[in-house]
Every structure is written in C-alpha cells, then in structure tokens.
Structure 1
C-alpha cells in the first residue's frame, strides 16, 4: 500500500495472494497497522470488492485497522455483501456511514437527467417513467438500456419491452451475478423465480429445499444484496427485483424446459393449503392448468362478485379455453356480467347467446339471467327502443325473490323510459323500485333510483329539486355507512356534479369527479363516463390547463373507440368543436364538425341521453353557423327545435336553444326579438340557477346580456326574473373576461401559431411524404418529425394527419 498520496485502493481479490502466502503477508499487515498508528495527517483507504474476503484472519485485520485509524482518516469499503466487521458497534458510536443499495438507486429525476443529458437520448417523460419503473432505479440496468437505445429508431417500443432478457443485461447478470453463486444457490434462484412473493415455507414447497436451507438461502441473498426486496418490516416476505426475476424466468425456461409448469403447480398447492385462492389461481393459470383454475374460480365466484372484483375475474377467465369455461355455468354468467360492465359489449352478447341456447335441467335460471344481461347491454349500447321493449317483457317474468336481477332490469327499463321521454312511466316504475327496496333494505338499488329521478328533474329544468333530492340521498347513505364509501356513490357524485356545474360550483365539481373518475373509466354507463370527462375537461380548460383538457377528451375518445360507441367518441369531438368556436378557430371547428357528423348517427328526435342533453350534433351545427354568420337558416332550425322541446317539457335544452336563437337574431340585426329570447331564457333560468348554460356560450352572449340589462334590469320583477341572478350572471361574465384571456393568437392568424419548421412539415405531409421521407428531406430524426406532428395536431385541433392537412389547407398554410 502507498499512503504517501493520502489515498490507497486495495481490491479484495488481492486478498487471494494473502491467502496463498499467509506468513509474509500477515507480517506486512501487522507492520501496516503500526504505520497507520504513527500517521498524523488525514488519509483515505478504500477496500474494493470486499465480498471476496472470507479468511477470518483478514476480516480480523480489517477490524483492527478500523480501531487503529487516526482521527480524521476514513476507511471506505465497497462490497456486494454486508461485511462481518462489527458494523453495529460502529453505527452505535456514530462512526459509520452506511450507503445501502436502496440509497444508490436513481430517483425518477436522476434517471431523466442521466438519459437526456448524459446519454443524449430523446425520450418522452412517459418512456422514461416506464424505464424507471422497470429498472426500479438500478443504474446498471438503466445504463445498459441506454446503450441499446442509442441506435434504435423505435425507442418507445424498446422501452415498453425492456426486460431481463435484454442481451446486454442478461450477459451482465449471467457473468457478474449468477455464475459467481454456488450451484445450489443458482438452482434456488431459478426455481423460486416463478414466485411473485417469497417466504421460507413457500420456497421450501416449490424448490424442494428444506425450510432450514430455504431460510439460509433467503438470508444469504438478502445479506449479499442479490436483488431481494423485503416486503414487510419483519423480513418474512420478499420479492425479486423485476428485471432480475424476468432474467431468472428466462434462464429457467432455457435450461429446464417444462419445469416452470411444475413449479407453478407446487406454488398453487401451497397457496390452496393456506386458503389463499387468488395467488393459487394465478399460479394454476401460469402453470398451464386451466381446468383446475376454472374449478377454483367457480368455488369463489360469489365471493368475487360480491366484492366487486370483476376486473380480476375478467383477467382470469379471459385465459380459459371456451370448452373449459362452458363446463361452469355460473362462471359463464359471471363472465358475461363482467364483460358488460367493462364495456366489452359484443363479447357479452356473444356469451348471452351461448347461454340462451343451453338445454339443461337447470337451464331456465341461467337463461333468465342471460336475458337480464341482454336487457342491460341493449340500453348501454344506445339501442334504446329495442331495450325498452325487451325490458318491459322481461320484468314481468321476473320472480319476486330475484332482487338483483329485478333491480338491474328495472333500472335499465327506467333509463330507456327517460331516454324516450316516458317520464311518467319512469316515475311510476321508480316508485315501485323504491317500495320494493325499502322492504328489503337494498341501498344500492334505491340510490340508483334516486339518481334517475334527479336526472328527470334536471332535464325538466327543476335544478333545485334535483340537487335537494341527491343531497338528502347522499347524507342518508353516508350516515348508514358511517361516513364512508357506499354503493352507488360514484354514480351519485357524477349526476350531482352535472347539477353543481350548472350552479357554477366548479371546485366542488372537480373534487367529486376526481374521486369518481376511476369508476367512470373502469365500468360506468356511457352517460356517467361522458359527463365525468366532459365536465373535467371544461374545468381544466377554464383553469388554463390545456394539457388536462386535451387529456380528458383523449381518454374519453379512446374509451369510446375501445367500446365501439359512436356517442362516446362523438361527445369528445363535440366538446373540441365547442372550444374551437369559442376561440374563433372556425376553420378548425368546421373540420371537427365533420368528425362530429361522422359519429353523430345516434342523435334521434325521439331519444335524449342526459349526458348529451345540450350537447348534440344539431346544437353544434347551430353554434358554428351563428359564429360563421349564417343566421337565417339557423333561426328556422332553432325555432323548430324550440317548438319540439317545449312540447316534451325539456326545459334545460329549451334554455340552451333560446340562448342560441337570441345570438342568431342579434347577428341578423333583430335586437328586439333577441331581447325577447333573452327574457324567456332568464325567466327559465333565474329561479333554478342555471348559470353555466349562459357562461358556456362565451363573450358574445355576455355582450348581448349586458345590452339587455341596460334596458331590462328595472323590469326584472315584472318579468318574473330574479334580479340577484342577473347581477351574479353579469359579474361572472365580467370575471370571465378578466380571467380567461382567450388565446388571441388563435383568434388572429393561424400561421403565427405554427413555427416555420412545423409549416414546412405540414406542407411535406400534404405532398404525401412519410415521416421517414420528411425526416430525410429536412435532415431531422424521425422522432423529431413525430414531435412536430404532435405539436401541429395540438395547435390545429386535429386528431390525425388527414384532418391536419384539411385545416392547414383551409387556413392557407399550404400555399
């Protein structure tokens, strides 16, 4: 060792030479201790790869060296395993700085800086987050991934598929980790890799090691920091690092083909003995035993459905072969229910059709429940009249004791009645539901019934009654559930948010919907899904959060595409169109209206969905026509719509139509008639508090309302208008003008929005060039071209290259 420079590095593998010639080297070691004691100036000694030191004499020498270190000097030990040098005593004396593997992991920010700054990789935050989750901040894996990413075109696909089978990472794990372990340890690692969680007893059952040997193995792996992560404070349960587990599983399959299935079966047997069905079923499916898995699922099907674990049920049953599944009728029905609840409607109807064809001794019960599912799916897929007819017939055949099925059919029937304007029939049916559920104390069905009644109140303009009904229902349910979660709460939160939004209580709406949106995304009916996303998108837009606005609408559109629902998709484009009109991006709005009309086949004169009460393609057309100055034909269409909706008592929609008519009449120069429509609208709205119906039409309506107020404010009492409502409305329009500062660059010249590079990209796009061809012409990477295209779509309000080209052509950007 050379201490003259103040730093000495001693590698553990040098200890092998000490073991070879112990006499001379140990004498030198004693001499070194004496030298250390005489040194007066501070110094640092670093012992690297200390884990290879096994000789007790050398370990003892290290302890002595620590005791003889002069004040101010430092001993640095780098080791894969925890050295046996009295760390507890040093820690108690405050002489130890222990940097464990967890402390060495990169944070997300450190990972991002390393990849973007050090490695010069152009990755999106989402891709970095995926890589970070996969590697768990392990710098070696991050570095090896960065090497593989350097020359790859599709970096996102590589990141998504990165695992322990990556060539560079597998080589590192093989050479630096696995081959260094004894054969018994290697076999233990490979066999236990099939387990997502490990403890001593489970490892013994799966690997064939005794419990004593399994305990020693786990203790050794943890001590040597071999990617074993404790899951509890008592260090009884562990898991392997995700990448390490992935690598071990691949190695196991390559070295011992077919052994994986046997190991999974052993794990399943152990879990079943512990009465833990969920992990047992997971292992049976992984182990290629679908028959045994189906048997176990069928045993706990009631427990799963009662607990609402339909997502887990779907994940399992999706993996079962049809011939196996058909041997378990209850499971088939539960599967069909889960498919329907998760918007996989066509698959649900497929299973309903199978069940309806059964000819079994107990087949009638299964067929009746299958028809209940059919009723539900018809209504959820907007086949309203067909659903109404089937529900009406089916509910008459429903036995009194089948409460759940009766409630499901009754609520589907009530929804179809509301959608077709049969309000009196719906109310009578809801009264029957409430009476029936009061006798059986079923809160969920009662909650749903109250929610539907509140929707009828809203559609007919009784906003105050709707809110009061819902608040009383929620208070009662909260009391009965000790203030916690109760069945039907997310649905009530969404319906009540529609009412509160009209009152302009945006903070409360955001709070309720933030809690409800996971439910909405997972399994809510279409109207709840649409309402939740549209309201959150509008609030984000009003808060200036454009990314949040676009995210909510994109999520809604994606769910609609997955569910095959044109109404859900159309609802997202209706909101985009409305926003474009407000921002005076009329060419963009015209192109978006094409998307609306392409998916707007669900709008029918005799059917009204409450989520789209005031947001349908015909209203979007009227709004755009007014903004473009096409007043005459719009006035005629609005007058016809007003007459039809007045007859149906649809006062909320009637309010919206009158406001649009007032704008059209004012645009035509007929201020007198415009003021009359404003008067009628205020008369409808002021006593119930419909604020947002006015505010959502933007500054043009605000200006018209201010002009009306100059001549009509004094006459409010005689006109049946609440004066304080008018004052509040005018103040909110004034606040809106101060707060929203709507992007003026969008209102003037679209060419100023796109950068020079983006205009060049859109021109090449219009010529039919591919991303790769554009990249070559502009001397850019394909990744950069894709980034430009995303920006172009966002700025133009387009959802793809075809629409972007159409909008750019309309704006004159392609000249």
Structure 2
C-alpha cells in the first residue's frame, strides 16, 4: 500500500494567528484524559486550535489527516501505525507486515498487536486523528471502541471531526476519561474576532464593526475569513458590514461570489477544476487542466499568497488542499458550471496521473467518477494482482453505489463484485451476483469475451463451492471454467486448476490432483501470483504426505513458508500444520508441537465463522495423547466438540470423534469407543476398536477388502495403516507368518518417508511383533530404528490395552502373588481357590503375555507397567 506522507504533517499555526489561550489551557490541563474530541462543523478552527496546542506540547505527537479513502479498516490501521512511526520508526512493523498480506487478520488480532506495541511505549505520546468524520465503516467503529477500552495510559488520542464521532463517549465521559470541545467552545468571542480581522486578515476595522461581523457569523471563523476577503480593497466596507445578514449557507454563498468575482478568469477556472481533487500538487493540476508545465505550482503558490483557503500539506509547499468547506462549494459550482466543462475527461486525466505515480486507489476513484468502466476494470485487475490491502473494501463500496442498469450493461461488474466479496471471506450473496451475471450474458454474442466471462464466473463458483466443502460442485465448476477461459487469462486459469486439484484430492484421485496442482503452480509462477501459488503448493504437499513422501512434503512446506516471506499469511497455517504432522510421524514431538502452535496462531486470525483453528487444536490434542495426558486431551476434545456443534462445523466432527475414540481406547473404555465408532464412516478406526476388543476375526474381515481397495486406488497412507492393523489382527489370531508378512509390507511402505509414530501409536502389541520379526532375522535397520524409538516414549497409557487380551482382575491378583514368589499351592491357599483353578489362571496369564515361564511373566508385566 503506497503511503502518502503528507497526511502526517502537523499543520503549522499562523505566525499572526489568534492564540486561543483559554481553550489551550483546557487542553493542557486535561492531557491525562484517554480521549480528546474536538467536534464542530467546517470552518470553526478545530485543526488550527489543536495545532497550536501541539506546538506547545513537550510530548511526542503523531498526526494523521484522514480522507474518504481511509474508510477501510486495513488501510486505516496501516496509516495509524505509519503515523506513529513518525515518532518511532520501528513501531508496529509486525502489524504492517500482517496488513500487507493478501488475507487480512482478524480485528482482534490486529488490535492485540497494536495494544501490546503501545504498552511498550516508555513516554507519553499523543496521536491526532484529523477529519475523523470520513470514517463511517462499522469495522472501524468497533475497532476504535475496543482500542479505547484497552488503551494504555502512555497514549492520548485526539479526534478532530465535523460530526459526532461513533465512539463510546458516554462511557468515557462517565469515567472522566474524556475532554470535549464543541461549537459553543470554538466560536470566536468579539475580542478574538477583532484580533483575527485586524491582525490575521490585516483589516482596519473598529471594534464595533468586528462585533457586528462576529454577531452576524455567530463567531464562525470561516465566515469571518470570507467576509474579510470580500471586504479587502472595498471602499465602502462599512456598508457591506452593515448589510451583512442571513444564515451561514446564504452568507457563504454570497461571500464566495464576492471572492471568486475578484479573481481573474483563469484563476476561477483553476479553482473550479482542481476542486475535484482531494489534494493537489503542481504536476497533478497541470495534468488535469492540460496546462503548461510549471504553471500548476506557480498558481498554487499564488493562491497561498492570496490566502484563498488553500492549506499546505508539507513544509516544502509541494502538496496542498483546499479548505474543506471551500472545496465543497467549489465542487457544487463545478457540477453546475455554465462553462461546459467535460467532467469525465477531467476525472480521466486525474486517474491517469494517479496511476502513473503509483496511487492505485485514487486512480480507481477518479476512473469510477468518470464512469470509465474499461479503466475501472483494468485498475481492479491491477489492484487485485498486487494484493493491495485496503483496496477491496474501497472497490466494494463503489460497486455498492453503481446503479443496477449499469450492471446489466456491464455483466462483468456482477462477477467482479462477487469475486471481491470472496476475497474478504464474504460468501452470502455471492451466488446471486454470479447468477445475475450469467442471466445478463444471455443476450450477449457467443464470442471469446463472453466465453471468457462465463469461465471466470465458473472459476468463482468453484471457489465458493470449495469454501462450503461441496467437492462435486467444485470439480464441475473448475472443469467448466477451464473449458471457457481464454488462454491469456492466466489468473483465472490458475485459480481453476487450483480448485480442480483440491476437488480431485477430496475425491481421492490423487494422481489427477497432483497433475492439476502442478499446473496451477506453474501458471502461478508465470503470472507472478504468489497467493495462488502458495495455495496450490499446499495441495502438492498434502498429496506428497498421502504418498508417505514425508521428506519431499517437508521440503514443500518449507518452500511455502519461504515463499510467504515475512508476511504472516493466514493461509500458510496449513504449511505449518503439515510440518507438525510430519515431525509427529518422525517422533520429534517438541518440534511437532512448535509447528502446530505456529499453525494455530495463524489459523486463529481467520474469522470465527471459519473452522481452520479447530483442525490445529485437534493436532495439539493428538500430541497430548502421545504424551499420555489423556484427561487433558479428553477435556479439550469436549470443548472442541461443543464449538463444532454450536458453529455447525459438520466437516470437523468426524475428526473429533476419531480422536475421542483414541482417548477412550487409551483409557480402556472399549464399549464407549465401540459405540462412538459406529457413528462415523471410518473403517480403519472401527477395525482398531475391534482389535482392542480382541475380536481379531471381525477386524480381519473388515480389513482385507479395505486393503485391496487402497492398493487399487494407490492410497499409500491408508494402505500402510491397514497393513499395520492387519498384522496385529493376524498376531491375535496366532497367524505368526502372515503377521510378519503384513508387517514387512507396512515397513516397506513407511521406510521411504521415515514414518515411526504410526507404529508406536499401536502400542505394545506392535512392539512385540517387531521384536519377533527382528528375532527371526526378518527385520532391517529401519525396523530396529522403530523398535528403539519405543524407548523414547515417556509413557504408554493403560498398558493393558496393549495386550492381545487384557488380564482379568483375578489374573492380576495371581500375577502379583507370582511376582511375590509364591508357589501355585500357596496362591490357591491365599485366594481360597483350588489348585486346578490357579493353574488355569497361570496358563491364561502366560498366553496373554506371550511367555512360557514365571520369571518371564513377571519381567513382561514389569515392562508393561502392569505390576
């Protein structure tokens, strides 16, 4: 976002201006108030009063003059931070980085960053927001209310506004945290009016004449100034003063006529034409007027010398603006000018100058004022491709003012409106605008331009469908987009290949997904679209993960983070989460947790109506489970489940239920786990529950056709998990050779990616199977690496669940007495059992622990933490 530094210049008080001592004292006495509001209509000297006060302040001051372009939260905050950087250049660098990202963080996140940064200020700062009345957007009002509620005492906020600002004034007033100056305070007294007219405006008037003008203008400073200009050089000034009547509007109209009529015709023309500019410099004026070089700067200098309501915006006298009220009246005259001025041409010239000098939003505004829709659309494309923050809201505001008849004549505007809404995360009303665009196109010729717009509409529908998890529609609209888009529409083609790739990925066609996403990345690189390139590359990383290519996937995710640079884009939360999953599988839990937390920090910047943070929190729960913190994991899952149901995040519910089943299995609550498993379509999880229930036959019956399906679809990650569970089921069935073969096949699939945790998470039965495999000489170095990793597991909860079949309570009693060294007869005597019954318990214990001697049974039980 280009920053206009003239907005930070503090107006310099007139050297011969009226010093308003009483008001200045009020401001000085209350410098500790949280908020100061100076509110009055135009022309009451609000800005000059505050500039006088600032000139005598010893505290550092940041000044920001606002305008209509700042009525966007991102742009407003960017300028606030940039203003504060005039005091401390390093202030708010992280905020600026986040505001420059294609996706805007949440308001809460931005304000938290701002407040934390303000809390580090060591001395008292003052921030002045001039012309605050331009800010009418509700997000800004909400942000300012929150900011004022938590504002640290080191910062005092000063708001200058023509209107009552939309701020919590009543609450601040009740807390004695507010200083207010209103119209009644700002009116010139007779003494101040006389001083202004004689000293500032250099008129030789009697006090009584000054009083007459003060009474007639009711102390309105702009009215006095206009009166003074009209009186200057008049012979019968007393008659003019005596005949001076009417309210402000009529007085001003009359005086404006007097002022303009005293100026040469070329100056009148200059004033009228340049009034369409919010601010001006010499070359901009020359461009709009199509005038000779250097004439613009010379005329601006003349206007300043003539005191014709022109305000310098910098110390170099390069940028100026007209007094707001003066500008308003000039624009009224310009709109009804009898001179036959071609306003669209003037606006087009201004737009061209702004575009050439890097001010995209200003260029857009003037193109829109000229109704130059071709220029408007080109500038929109330019702004979107550059991802200027603060632009999208401005474009949407303009589109909201465009008559429906224009949309009917220009159907592409419907599509652009819908696309811009999606960029801000707004989905309501998008489909209706796309429908309107397609309906309007029915009467258009079937040429390449119409077909291209049909393709763009389809590409946008694909994004909307993807946001709603409508994957069939995502695929259909992506394919339709590719069928209609023209070859040089690289941006929309890239978007269509990206949504196509994710549609294929959701349907399990991973080869097609890889092909589409690779194409999207290639097109994004060619077009320079970093945003789509990141999205498509994330998809490629997920495909690599699904193929157990964890080393390649990790490199892909790292590439995404590097591609994003220092801009903390919300969307790269998926790259950090991918790294968390990978390092989890590599059994590097601390690194995995760090990446998962980074992912959550980014995901929480999304709107609360989006479910991204739920995904990250689920992975943090997985890490809690890996550390044996079952109770904490269970509590957190209950909270997440409640949030998912309240927010209707139905897509997240199966993941939560799957994780809850893992907790229940770890807590040996097998019945509850089995009942929960029946509520979701997750065959592998259901097989895992059957194994925990020692129902290996049912598990094998479920797994064998599944594994064949996974092999046919080339779903390597699912195939790996299925083979591991199949090996455990065969072990339970006593099918040693088959179990070894299944485990070897699983190891072959996992070894290229170095997966470890997928084995460890199956508990001690898998460890036993690995031991036997290695003991038979069938295990390689990778198998020994996994076996060694078991030693790094700090705690394996409820080891009974790791047995082929859990020990009963009586068997645990018998096992304890065996460990105490008692013989079978002594155990029978102590437990009041027959010797035959004790021997039966001992045989069962041996079978369940897979041992054949008492000493081995005790050692195995100790290893499992059963004793």
Larger Rg: 2
TM-score normalised to the size of structure 1? Answer: 0.49
Between 1 and 2, higher relative CO (CA 8 Å, sep ≥ 6) is seen in: 2
